Every structure is written in C-alpha cells, then in structure tokens.
Amino acid sequence: MPLLFEPFARFCVGMVPVATRLFSDDQLDRLRSFPDIGKDDLIRYFTLTGADVAFVDPGRGRGPGDRLGLAVQLCTLPWLGFVPDEVTAAPPVAVTRLAERLAIDPAELQGYGRREQTRTGHLQSAAGYLGWKQAPPGGAAMKELEQFLLDRAMEHDSPTLLFNLAAEYLISAKVIRPGVVTLMEMVGAARAGAGELTFEQVAHLLTAQVRSDLDRLLQFDAGLGMARLAWLVKPAVEATAPAVKTSIEKLEFVRAMDAHLLDLSMLPAERRRFLATVGRRSTVQALETPRGAPVPDLAGAGRAVRGRPAGRGRVAVRPGGVGTGIAGEVQDRRGTGRAREDRRGAAVAVAGDPAGAGRPGDPGRAGGRPVARADRDAAAAGSCGGRMEAASA
C-alpha cells in the first residue's frame, strides 16, 4: 500500500478500532451470569410440559438435586442461548416454579453441579433434547456465524450492537453461544474483514487523479486563510446571503472534483453513512504525515454536497458503539491495516453518497431473512418443544 495513506491508520485507531474487548469486567460477569427475569419470560421459558418432566425424571436413580439442576438448564438454554456455569445462581422465582412442578424442595439445587462433568453432561443432554447444537471452533456453525457477522459489520460498525446481533442469531439458529471472549474476538475479526472488503469494493475509485485532488484538500490556501478541507467542513452559523453563497461555492468546488459522480452503490447504505461520519470528523492535522505528506479525505466534500449545517443530523460514532455504561474498549493496534482500508472507503463514501442514504439495509439478517425479537421468541418456543401449548393443554 502506498505510504501516502499511512496516516489513515493512525487516525482511525481511535475512531474505528478493531476491539478484542467490548465490555468492562463487571459487564463481562453479567454476560456470563443469570440476569433478572420478568413475568413473561418466566412463564414462557420456565413452564415444563409432561414430556419435559419425563425427560428430567427418567426413573433411573437421578437424585432430586440433579433433576432440578437439569430442569434449570433445560429452561435456561432457550432463554439465554447458553447456561451459566453457576447453575445454582438461577433466579429464585424460576427455581421455585420448577421445583413446584417437580415436587422438589428448591433448596436441593444448592448441592447441584459440584462435579463439572455433571453440569456438562446435563447440558449436552438438554441440548440434544431441545434440538440445539454446539459450535466447535472451525465447525460449520462457527463459519456461518462468521459470515453473518461479516454481513452485519458491513452495515453496523458498533461492536456492542454486533455482539448483541450475534447472540440473537445464535438463539434463532439453536446454537449454544460460545464464550464471551470468543464472541468478542469474532466481532473484532468481522469489523476488520468489513474494512478490508470495503476497500476492495471502492479501490477502483481511487485513481491517481482522485488521490491528487484529495491531497490538495490538505494544502493551505492563502486566499481562504486555511486548508480547503477546513473550509469545506466549516458550517454556516446563520442563514444569510453570504452564507448561502459560500455553500454554493463549496458545492461547485466538490463537483469540479467529480465527487458527485462517484458510484458507491456496491456498499450498503448503513456503511456509507458510517464512512461519511468518519470523514466529516477528519481534520487536516490528523491526516498529515510527519513529513507533511497529505492524505486523501473528502470530509468537506461530503459536508458541502449534503448541504446541511455540521451540527445537524450527525450519527454518533465512538469506540464504544451503541449502548451506555461501556467502560471502554481495549484497542488492538494490529488493526491499523483495517483502519486504513476503512478510511480510504470513508474518503470516497463521503463524497459519493450525497443523499447520505440509500436503500434501507436489512439489519439482523440470518441466511437472507430478518433476525428480530419475533424470530428469537419463535426459536425459543420451538426449542421448548411446544412447552407452553402442552402445559396449557
């Protein structure tokens, strides 16, 4: 890759990091543990049918603690998509509900799972009964998850959102969720892959002329008293005739660069929005090399072509992605190559997508179909073996 583009990597290490950690220690503990349960989920997932009771109590000498522990795992798997190691920490209201159905003292659960082999064996039995499968490294299930995450990463760069979408997808596919760290690494790999794929798809647009035009955006213009990039991204502060005239001049400038002719239809609309946001946040200082060699960027072009004040309509992009309370991400500095590709795509995307939007994306897709809450509920209901219907009958 030309050395000219190296500053892209340095700038984007903080803007679009390839994270190997998305959550704080407290959040990791919560992701591995039982959450609180509401009334609806309690009834939906912790209602045993007659067939479930027969599976839990086969009449082969299984003790009360083991029967109750197995029942907890049987109901937890469709609910969370995995079973926490501390089965005894299940919500008391759920344990009590199962214990009443099995005519067992809820206190019996406290002695469950002292042998790890017992918990593992019961989880395998419950998964087989419910029709769920494991996701061993390199297996078909993991490869399908990798492809799902890559598709979603082309639409959403937020690592937290990608993690949640992956968890939803696994539940809909009846695949036991791998460990949190494994899933975080897969999210990071998907974001890196999305950056590489983005560059592959837009590389043909970065001709020598385009790169030269982009370089000139960083050069100081004596007539303006600033670099062209700074001039382009500087928003209008009031609706006056001079401000309108300046906006028209900016539009004419980027059109003279043929920015409006760049075809980015090969990228999902959400990807273009993300790259445009990254481009608008670029600065001359961040894009210059130590030797002063400029780096292409069309942030100002995107702002002028969009024709709206800088403070309006922005999409928040930050290392933590969506959600609140994220303590921060541990950035993988080896992702600079991927950051470089994303920045190149951003440079093209800002100018080539004047409307800032295209076809609505299809977030949460699994095998070409939407993965939504309804899919999760349907999958969970099926995993329970028609538990609710049979129970009501």
Higher pLDDT, 341 or 233: 233
pLDDT at 172 over 90: yes
Check: CB of residue 309 under 8 Å from CB of residue 9.
no
What pLDDT digit, counting tens, does each position of 367-381 carry? 333 344 444 444 444
What pLDDT digit, counting tens, does each position of 238-288 carry? 889 999 999 999 999 989 988 888 888 999 998 988 888 877 777 787 776
What pLDDT digit, counting tens, does each position of 342-368 carry? 444 444 444 444 333 333 333 333 333
pLDDT at 144 over 90: yes
Q: For residues 168 and 366, what is the distance between their CA atoms, to the nearest angstrom? A: 10
Token output for 380 = 């969970």
What pLDDT digit, counting tens, does each position of 80-121 carry? 999 999 999 999 999 999 999 999 999 999 999 888 899 999
Q: For residues 296 and 294, what is the distance between their CA atoms, to the nearest angstrom? A: 7
pTM of this structure: 0.65
Amino acid 206: pLDDT? 87
Amino acid 58: pLDDT? 75
Amino acid 260: pLDDT? 85
Residue 41 makes CB contacts below 8 A (sequence gap 6+) with 79
Higher pLDDT, 322 or 107: 107
Residue 115 makes CB contacts below 8 A (sequence gap 6+) with none
Amino acid 59: pLDDT? 67
Higher pLDDT, 158 or 2: 158
Q: For residues 275 and 97, what is the distance between their CA atoms, to the nearest angstrom? A: 50
% of residues, the chain, pLDDT over 90: 43
Token output for 200 = 């592959």
What pLDDT digit, counting tens, does each position of 285-318 carry? 777 644 333 333 333 333 333 343 333 333 333 2
Q: How many CB atoms lie within 10 A of CB 347?
A: 31
Token output for 2 = 């030309």
Amino acid 309: pLDDT? 35
Using CA of residue 160, residue 166, residue 171, residue 176, what is the dihedral sign? negative
Amino acid 62: pLDDT? 83
Amino acid 214: pLDDT? 86
Mean pLDDT of 129-156: 94
What pLDDT digit, counting tens, does each position of 187-204 carry? 999 999 999 999 899 899
Domain ranges across the chain: 3-19+203-352, 33-132
Q: For residues 340 and 334, what is the distance between their CA atoms, to the nearest angstrom? A: 11
Amino acid 327: pLDDT? 30
What pLDDT digit, counting tens, does each position of 33-81 carry? 999 999 999 999 999 999 999 999 876 668 999 999 999 999 999 999 9
In degrees and rounded to multiples of 5, residue 243 shows phi and psi of -65, -40
Local confidence band at 142 (pLDDT 50, 70, 90 cut-offs): very high
